[in-house]
Amino acid sequence: MTGVIQPDCLFCRIASGEIPAKLVHDDDLVVAFNDINARAPTHILLIPREHLTSAADLTEDHAPMLGRLFAVAAGIARDRGLADQGYRLVSNVGRAAGQSVDHLHWHLMGGRTFTWPPG
Ligand code: 5GP
Ligand code: ZN
């Protein structure tokens, strides 16, 4: 489901400030915050303010938001010194891929070694 904000959506409520989170970045298009259950020394979630269920809902119209989101992710990784070592930037789409929150998000994970393919 697509829309500017979904009142029952956890990440819409974090983006609006209704539910607290440790914000890392926040602008008119994108919000980034620490994952509540970090699976790596750095584990940040990046989301669009607009509610989109997953990457399956993206269209070319989302290009400005996506450009911003990936630039923010790259900046955070650089600022935290992750860029040289490498890091993971992933978005799970649907239950079989492990998506548990139905608001589009990318995991920015770093500070350890990751295996491929993921389990
Ligand atoms: P997914 O499983 O959908 O790819 O990722 C959802 C992520 O959201 C999980 O890594 C989970 O730990 C995180 N998460 C779930 N609830 C909350 C919350 O209330 N606050 C924060 N900061 N992260 C959450
Ligand atoms: Zn939402």
Q: Which residues line ligand 1 (CB under 6 A)?
A: 10, 21, 33-37, 45, 92, 98-101
User: Which amino acid makes up residue 100?
Assistant: S
In what helix (H) or strand (E) does residue 79 lie, and over which residues does it extend? Answer: helix 63-79
The protein residue with its alpha carbon nearest to ligand 1, atom 18, reads: 36
Query: How would you write the pLDDT of the chain (119 residues) with one tens digit per residue?
Result: 567 888 899 999 999 999 999 999 999 999 999 999 999 999 999 999 999 999 999 999 999 999 999 999 999 999 999 999 999 999 999 999 999 999 999 999 999 999 999 98
- Total count of domains within the chain: 1
- pTM of the complete model: 0.97
Active site residue 107: no
**CA 32 to each of CA 109, 115, 116: distance values in angstroms, whole numbers, following the listed order:** 12, 24, 25
CATH label of the domain that carries residue 20: 3.30.428.10
- Contact assessment for residue 9 and residue 51, using Cβ atoms and an 8 Å cutoff: yes
DSSP 13-75: HHHHTSS---EEEE-SSEEEEE-TT-SSSEEEEEEESSB-SSGGG--GGGHHHHHHHHHHHHH
Q: For residue 21, is it within any domain?
A: yes
